[in-house]
Amino acid sequence: MTSTITDYSRARYTVKAFNPDRRISDADMAKVRDLLRLSPSSTNLQPWYFVIASTEEGKARVAKSAETKFPFNAPSIKKASHVIVFASRLELTEDYLQKVLAQEEADG
């Protein structure tokens, strides 16, 4: 039987507490980075970017940025093996669009 994305979504598990002694392997994080990099978008604009924090300093910076609106998340952010911040461009500037078009042309 072939699994679908819906099957995976139904089987997912939300972690309530992080064990700071457990780390996601470099190999698994490489797979996650590939999935993020290959995420499709309309007309290949890819108006997003991702920040991955895995060091104590990086996670502390992410936790600090969440303190105002989501202070309850700070302890989990600091304890997690890795934290991925999903960010999106608010505007698609002419310069950005030209870079995307140039890359499309270069890629064939």
Q: Is the model's pLDDT at 43 over the cut of 80?
A: no
**Confidence band of 104 (pLDDT split at 50, 70, 90):** confident
Residues 18 and 75: their CA atoms lie apart, in Å, by: 9
Give the C-alpha separation, 96 to 37, whole Å: 17
- Confidence (pLDDT) at 1: 65
pLDDT at 108: 77
Q: How far is CA 108 from the centre of its chain?
A: 27
Q: Give the closest residue to 75 by CA, choosing from 20, 30, 8.
A: 20
Comparing CA positions, the residue from 102, 105, 60, 49 lying closest to residue 83 is 60
Give the CATH architecture of domain 19-107: 3-Layer(aba) Sandwich (3.40)
